[in-house]
């Protein structure tokens, strides 16, 4: 219990067999309220296996959906006053957009205002791919220039420099489900608390009533131009024919392969996932899962099992780093047991990249500790478990290997040997 309390929204023990259903209801209630999160119920074995009369047990109504809360109109009006004065607004959409099921309202808001928009965290997938306002490469520049920044379910945490990536005199409009999150690391000039679908709806209603015509098409176009410049500079890197394979080339191969497919993508790694999220287009709604801000590696196959079981109509592709694969790669055994045709692709460079590069930079390449790996044949391990394996040493082998893996109808792994970058930093990595 003491171990679970600090990492859950609610944790308790039930000491009375008759009250187990009540405790389950309490756990669900807390798990789904506000920003959802885990709840933990401990039932000692003697309580769990106790026998009771049915009539002594209360079976509460399970409310698995949280209530939808609407923000006060005043807060919306206040936010719009700030937005009206904006010349270069930028929006970042994140996790709470997803928990609010607010994707369609967010889309409508973007289409109405043409505010340049970025996504992060679980916000990936909440804006339709192809939306002109949806940008990626130009993020840093856009934030540096903006005069109003809309945090749509996004926190100004370390990923956004704790708010310092935005000019000190820019205004912040923050929208979130819970008041406790407003003002995290930097104060909001206006705050809209409530379900984000309701918040966007209200914003558009108030704009209509007020006859507002907020249209940032030209600011958007200016950024699109810059986005394309960066994209083409970057694209040059994607076509490397180097052997061992350049990580960006690997990502390009994945991008090309999934382009026309209905795939749930799951990232389980450090640098390779960071690279992939730069190269791959923003995915469709609910089609991206990754280790989250705390970098909890090992989520790949557990997430994939859940995704494949709940969406048997879709294919699932895990993008692995080799360090991550070692953590829960053994769960391919589970995929084999349940006959789930999940495909993984692992970029093997024989090191823990996000650890070894800072070590080398700070302490020198000769004082590296516990960050080297083998060039293990992970594909053969998966074959040994009864799955399908592929092994690639040259970039042009990746596409066909992925084809065969998807076609095999089995749990499959494509093992790609990459260039090992220790001292210089992966090209375009989070460390450059």
Provide the binding-site residues for a second copy, judged by CB under 8 A.
Answer: 2-3, 5-7, 15, 22, 25, 29-30, 32-34, 49, 58, 60-61, 63, 66-72, 74-75, 178-180, 182-183, 185-189, 191, 193-194, 198, 326-327, 329-330, 333, 336-337, 362, 372-374, 376-377, 380-381, 383-386
Nearer to a second copy, 288 or 325 (CB): 325
Q: Nearest approach, Cβ of 86 to a second copy (angstroms)?
A: 19
Q: Nearest approach, Cβ of 8 to a second copy (angstroms)?
A: 11
Nearer to a second copy, 49 or 366 (CB): 49
Taking CA atoms, 128 is separated from 104, 123, 364, in Å, by 9, 11, 45
**Interatomic CA distance for residues 19 and 372, integer angstroms:** 51
Nearer to a second copy, 217 or 374 (CB): 374
**Interatomic CA distance for residues 101 and 199, integer angstroms:** 12
Q: Nearest approach, Cβ of 419 to a second copy (angstroms)?
A: 20
Taking CA atoms, 316 is separated from 6, 88, 298, 322, 379, in Å, by 32, 38, 16, 18, 17
Q: Nearest approach, Cβ of 342 to a second copy (angstroms)?
A: 16
Nearer to a second copy, 251 or 301 (CB): 301
Q: Nearest approach, Cβ of 335 to a second copy (angstroms)?
A: 11
Two structure tokens written together for 256:
């090309």
**Interatomic CA distance for residues 163 and 158, integer angstroms:** 8
**8 A C-beta contact, residue 134 and residue 283:** no
**Interatomic CA distance for residues 98 and 175, integer angstroms:** 13
**Interatomic CA distance for residues 305 and 302, integer angstroms:** 5
Nearer to a second copy, 179 or 232 (CB): 179
Q: Nearest approach, Cβ of 284 to a second copy (angstroms)?
A: 27
**8 A C-beta contact, residue 283 and residue 125:** yes
């Amino acid at each position: 219990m003491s171990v679970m309390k600090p990492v859950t929204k609610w944790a308790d023990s039930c000491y009375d067999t008759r009250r187990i259903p009540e405790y389950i209801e309490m756990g669900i209630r807390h798990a789904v309220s506000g920003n959802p999160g885990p709840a933990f119920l401990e039932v000692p074995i003697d309580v769990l296996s106790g026998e009771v009369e049915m009539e002594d047990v209360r079976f509460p109504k399970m409310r698995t959906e949280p209530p939808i809360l609407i923000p006060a109109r005043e807060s919306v009006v206040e936010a719009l006053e700030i937005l009206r004065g904006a010349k270069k607004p930028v929006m970042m959409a994140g996790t709470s957009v997803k928990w609010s099921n607010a994707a369609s309202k967010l889309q409508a808001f973007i289409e109405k205002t043409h505010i340049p928009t970025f996504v992060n965290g679980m916000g990936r997938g909440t804006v339709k791919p192809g939306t002109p306002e949806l940008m990626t490469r130009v993020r840093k520049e856009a934030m540096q220039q903006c005069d109003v920044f809309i945090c749509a379910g996004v926190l100004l945490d370390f990923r956004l420099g704790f708010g310092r990536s935005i000019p000190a005199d820019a205004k912040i409009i923050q929208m979130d489900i819970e008041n406790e999150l407003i003002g995290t690391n930097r104060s909001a000039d206006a705050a809209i608390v409530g379900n984000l679908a309701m918040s966007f709806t209200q914003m558009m209603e108030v704009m209509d009533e007020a006859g507002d015509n907020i249209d940032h098409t030209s600011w958007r176009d200016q950024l699109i131009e810059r986005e394309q410049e960066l994209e083409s500079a970057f694209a040059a890197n994607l076509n490397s024919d180097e052997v061992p394979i350049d990580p960006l080339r690997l990502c390009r191969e994945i991008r090309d392969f999934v382009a026309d497919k209905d795939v749930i993508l799951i990232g389980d790694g450090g640098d390779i996932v960071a690279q992939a999220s730069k190269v791959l287009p923003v995915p469709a709604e609910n089609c991206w899962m990754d280790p989250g801000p705390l970098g909890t590696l090992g989520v790949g196959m557990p997430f994939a099992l859940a995704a494949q079981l709940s969406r048997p109509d879709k294919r699932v592709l895990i993008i692995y780093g080799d360090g991550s694969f070692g953590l829960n790669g053994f769960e391919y055994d589970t995929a084999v047991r349940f006959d789930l045709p999940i495909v993984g692709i692992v970029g093997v460079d024989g090191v823990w990249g996000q650890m070894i590069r800072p070590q080398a930079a700070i302490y020198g390449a000769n004082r590296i500790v516990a960050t080297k790996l083998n060039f293990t044949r992970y594909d053969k391990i998966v074959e040994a478990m009864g799955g399908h394996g592929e092994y690639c040493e040259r970039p042009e082998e990746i596409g066909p290997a992925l084809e065969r893996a998807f076609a095999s109808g089995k749990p499959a792994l494509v093992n790609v040997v990459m260039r090992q970058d220790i001292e210089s930093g992966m090209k375009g990595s989070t460390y450059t």
